[in-house]
Amino acid sequence: MLAKRIIPCLDVRDGKTVKGINFVDIREVGDPVELGAKYARDGADELVYLDITASHEERKLFADLVRRIAANLNIPFSVGGGINELRDADVLLSAGADKVSVNSAAIRTPGLVDQIASGFGSQFVIVAIDARYENGRWGVYINGGRVPVDKELFSWAREVQDRGAGEILFTSMNHDGTKNGFACDALRVLSESLSIPVIASGGAGREEHFVEVFNEGKADAALAASIFHYNEIPVPKLKEYLKTNKINVR
């Protein structure tokens, strides 16, 4: 069985790692290059960097940052935010990113997933899906969870898999920020219905939550931000805990 992955997520604004809630009360938490290198030393398996103020004007700045990250990192990292066309993916992959993550743009232009997968390979494409459980269904949202769209989590995940996505990054909006655990029921359905890896996001608060997400949620990887940034659960301590609970980690 493949080892389960632990993935810290770093939101980047104006070249700094930040953390906030729905883009409110945003605080700087460190230099993205230094913080990424620290997580690599601590045993993180991968990193995800999200450009939360992505625009064409800032794309060059972010590409420069990606080059610096790549030069100082010895683990894979993914980049997302503002990837609206094939050229955007090309710029970031050429700068040294190992994968790109698309979310809202994939909803608006589903063929973008096909284009990136055809141009670079499925292993380079993560489709991120933000969904909220309401009225008996998992509805999908775009624009940082602000705008609902006429998509349902499981059918959309199957569609992007068919279009060539190499991984799904599912964030439960119901669980995000609560620190009460991941959406294990939905994750299990996703994992059992897809043939590509599923990354869990939203709800990490305690070490036990990671055992649950791997055992009950059948997730291939688990992503978190604040618990790592504020050293609430250091990566080495988490990995030791997972090993003692018979979870296969690197």
**For 2-43, what is each residue's pLDDT tens digit?**
899 999 999 998 888 887 654 456 778 889 999 999 999 999
Confidence (pLDDT) at 162:
98
- Please indicate, yes or no, if residue 208 is contained in any of the structural domains: yes
Closest CA to 107 of 70, 58, 73, 141: 141
Structural domain of residue 188, as residue ranges?
5-244
Q: Name the token pair of 239.
A: 């990995």
- Please indicate, yes or no, if residue 96 is contained in any of the structural domains: yes
- For the annotated catalytic residues, the residue numbers are 11, 130
Confidence of residue 55 (pLDDT cuts 50, 70, 90): low
Q: How many helices (H) and strands (E) does the chain have?
A: 10, 12
- Please indicate, yes or no, if residue 122 is contained in any of the structural domains: yes
State the total domains in the chain: 1
CA atoms within 13 A on the CB side of 20: 15
- Please indicate, yes or no, if residue 95 is contained in any of the structural domains: yes
CATH of the domain at 130: 3.20.20.70
Task: Say how far residue 60 (Cα) sits from the centre of its chain.
Answer: 22
- Please indicate, yes or no, if residue 249 is contained in any of the structural domains: no
Distance CA 93, CA 101 (A): 11
Burial 39-59 (b: 16+ CB within 10 A, else e): bbebbbbbbbbbbbbbeeebb
DSSP 30-84: E-HHHHHHHHHHHT-S-EEEEETT--HHHHHHHHHHHHHHHHH-SS-EEEESS--
- Please indicate, yes or no, if residue 213 is contained in any of the structural domains: yes
- Please indicate, yes or no, if residue 20 is contained in any of the structural domains: yes
Measured from the Cβ of residue 235, the count of other Cβ atoms closer than 10 Å reads 21
Closest CA to 124 of 132, 115, 133: 115
| Mean pLDDT on 134-151 | 93
Q: What is the pLDDT of residues 154-206, one digit of tens each?
A: 999 999 999 999 999 999 999 998 899 999 999 999 999 999 999 999 999 99
Distance CA 168, CA 158 (A): 10
Confidence of residue 53 (pLDDT cuts 50, 70, 90): confident
- Please indicate, yes or no, if residue 250 is contained in any of the structural domains: no
Q: Name the token pair of 229.
A: 């940034």
Kind and range of the H or E run holding 216: none
Question: pTM of this prediction?
Answer: 0.95
